[in-house]
């Protein structure tokens, strides 16, 4: 056992170090205040500094009161005014999360929990002497449980393409999304459970009220985000409270699945999530020694009066609230989020929301995924990877690995792009654009071919969008120096910012890129984004549907056996709620009834 544990530690240290992120807050010289950046906000004056590429930068501006004390699990309030000029020279606290690379804690965190509840800060990057420029408002990814806005340097995107970039923090995990009946106040927003979502809306309200002072146009705001941030972008589209606060949306590797309130609140035995609010209370009662086990905890919880249970929850420290979780999966934890409370977010599904123009905020949209999305999470998975001499990773079976990546990526594209584009265009929105990011020109790590192991993996497009390959989420060690890579980044920044200006990426800000057609125009669907040294940039006609994925799984002659076929079905449809037991049992000529889906569902 000890030997196996050492292997896992070594694999994690080596592979995560290459595949995920280097620390997001590298040691830098303190920024020097520059009074040319003095600006007035509704809460007081702020002064920033001159950053990379000559950008004017303001870091750590509060956009809400600290959500501490009685404001934990409550709607964010506007910030308290201050006197004098507040220096905004460093990012604010990150929101509480499990310590990880994304929190800046390195490969071997010395603390289990990072961040502080006083964390509602945003950052602004603007060209010098800017005025009425489009605003690009970034929502970070991380499963809505890790990450922070300070990881993303918007200086190059802002200065190269004349936009104002805003990045924000928002409450995470069960501090951001948590609905327990004992916390109810009778106020719909306070009782929604969607505190992270409300933080984003509050930051958009701050942007509406203040961004003109920083050179931005409050009437031209593009919300864009990746992964969970892309899902959160779609929640802005779905939320009636966000109406009028933004004017375009870019969804990078996202999707929209609303969590029912019963799932978020109920005990697991009553159909709730394994980490629903009631289950979290059970764990807290066990962890602090109040009761001996989870069964006893449920009985104790049922006996507690709502005021006492509320006081109990508010008495818990951040460390105690995270005590039942570990730091696997890069620190991400599995708690319910994006709750269908009926006020902040509709208690409905993506098709019902996005197909009806009266049920969402209809704005021009870009939707996209990466060709090899799941490889980021698979490339260190012992199911697929062996190690040689303890530290050298190798794919066990390259062909089966690439098949698994393909089917996982197709399912992601179906739920994150093609189905959503179909819904939005059905609602009458003519300005829907789709892409697939295909860049896969990584080198090798100790003989491990990253172009195969990672390829166009989840999150790798972020560096191209921000034009930054060396810090934060740049993953600089994956991106070899290349004129073709830099040219692709320039094209993507050009498309993204032309969309921010006009709602149509067209031929980019420079007017020199291949034309990006809206969904369904001339029979085309998505644009492929790749280097000229590979495929280049071009429109394609393919549309992925649930039916096409299922047919491909059934008919694929390269699939080795029925168990493998059944595995692809389970993993393609487990997250989207489209798993159909009867269809699974009768898949293909042999069916899958011999295989318990729970045994196949497992990154």
Catalytic positions, written as ranges: 227, 373, 458
Whether residue 229 contacts residue 138, with contact meaning beta carbons closer than 8 Å, is answered with yes
Element (H, E) at 167: strand 164-168
How far apart (Å, rounded) are the C-alpha atoms in residues 20 and 541? 32
Cα gap 434→441, rounded to integer Å: 22
Structure tokens at 434: 């789709």
3-state SS string for 374-439: CHHHHCCCCCCEEEECCCEEEECCHHHHHHHHHHHHHHHHHHHHHHHHHHHHHCCCCCEEEEEECC
Q: How far is CA 244 from CA 169, 205, 273, 308, 553, in A?
A: 21, 10, 33, 40, 43
Give Cα separations from 336 to 56, 96, 346 (angstroms): 38, 16, 16
Token pair 């590979």 is found at 534
Contact 85, 38 (CB under 8 A): yes
Structure tokens at 268: 């697991």
Residue 592 near residue 370, CB atoms below 8 Å: no
3-state secondary structure 82-100: CCCEEECECCCCCCCEECC
What radius of gyration, in Å, describes the C-alpha atoms of the chain? 24
Secondary structure of 422-470 in HEC code, one letter for each residue: HHHHHCCCCCEEEEEECCCCCCEECCEEHHHHCCCCCCCCHHHHHCCCC
């Amino acid at each position: 056992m000890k030997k196996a544990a050492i292997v896992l530690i070594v694999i994690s240290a080596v592979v995560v170090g290459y595949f995920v992120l280097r620390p997001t807050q590298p040691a830098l010289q303190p920024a020097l205040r520059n009074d040319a950046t003095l600006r007035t906000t509704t809460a007081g004056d702020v002064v920033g500094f001159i950053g990379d590429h000559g950008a004017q930068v303001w870091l750590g501006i509060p956009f809400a009161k600290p959500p501490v004390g009685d404001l934990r699990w409550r709607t964010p309030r506007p910030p308290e005014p201050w006197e004098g000029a507040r220096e905004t020279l460093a990012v604010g606290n990150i929101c509480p999360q499990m310590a990880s690379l994304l929190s800046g804690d390195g490969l071997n965190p010395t603390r289990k929990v990072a961040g502080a509840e006083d964390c509602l800060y945003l950052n602004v990057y603007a060209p010098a002497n800017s005025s009425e420029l489009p605003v690009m408002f970034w929502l970070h990814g991380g499963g809505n449980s890790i990450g922070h806005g300070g990881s993303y340097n918007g200086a190059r995107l802002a200065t190269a393409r004349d936009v104002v970039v805003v990045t924000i923090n928002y409450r995470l995990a069960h501090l951001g999304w948590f609905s327990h009946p004992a916390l109810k106040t009778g106020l719909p927003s306070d009782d929604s459970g969607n505190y992270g979502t409300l933080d984003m809306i509050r930051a958009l309200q701050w942007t509406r009220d203040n961004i003109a002072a920083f050179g931005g146009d409050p009437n031209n705001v593009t919300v864009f985000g990746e992964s969970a941030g892309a899902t959160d972008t779609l929640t802005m589209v779905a939320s009636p409270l966000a109406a009028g606060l933004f004017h375009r949306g870019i969804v990078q590797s996202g999707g929209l699945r609303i969590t029912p309130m019963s799932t978020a609140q109920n005990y697991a035995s009553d159909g709730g999530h394994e980490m629903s609010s009631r289950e979290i209370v059970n764990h807290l009662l066990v962890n602090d020694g109040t009761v001996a086990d989870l069964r006893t905890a449920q009985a104790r919880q049922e006996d507690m009066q709502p005021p006492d249970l509320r006081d109990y929850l508010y008495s818990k420290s951040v460390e105690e609230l995270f005590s039942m979780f570990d730091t696997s999966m890069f620190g991400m934890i599995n708690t319910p989020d994006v709750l269908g409370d009926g006020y902040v977010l509709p208690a409905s599904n993506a098709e019902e929301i996005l197909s009806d123009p009266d049920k969402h905020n209809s704005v021009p949209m870009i939707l996209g995924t990466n060709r090899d999305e799941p490889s980021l999470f698979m490339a260190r998975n012992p199911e697929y990877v062996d190690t040689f001499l303890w530290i050298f990773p190798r794919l066990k079976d390259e062909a089966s690995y690439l098949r698994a990546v393909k089917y996982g990526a197709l399912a992601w594209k179906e739920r994150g792009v093609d189905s959503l584009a179909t819904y939005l265009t059905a609602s009458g929105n003519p300005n829907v654009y789709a892409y697939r990011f295909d860049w896969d020109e990584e080198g090798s790590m100790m003989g491990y071919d990253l172009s195969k192991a990672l390829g166009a993996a989840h999150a790798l497009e972020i560096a191209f969008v921000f034009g930054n390959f060396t810090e934060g989420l740049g993953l600089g060690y994956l991106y070899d120096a290349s004129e073709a890579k830099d040219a692709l980044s320039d094209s993507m920044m050009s498309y993204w910012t032309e969309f921010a200006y006009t709602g149509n990426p067209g031929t980019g800000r420079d007017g020199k890129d291949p034309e990006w057609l809206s969904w369904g125009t001339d029979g085309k669907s998505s644009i492929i984004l790749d280097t000229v040294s590979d495929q280049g940039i071009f429109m394609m006609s393919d549309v992925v549907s649930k039916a096409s994925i299922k047919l491909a799984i059934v008919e694929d002659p390269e699939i080795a056996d029925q168990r493998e076929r059944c595995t692809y079905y389970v993993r393609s449809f487990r997250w989207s709620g489209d798993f159909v037991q009867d269809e699974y049992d009768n898949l293909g000529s042999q069916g899958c009834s011999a295989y318990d889906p729970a045994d196949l569902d497992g990154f």
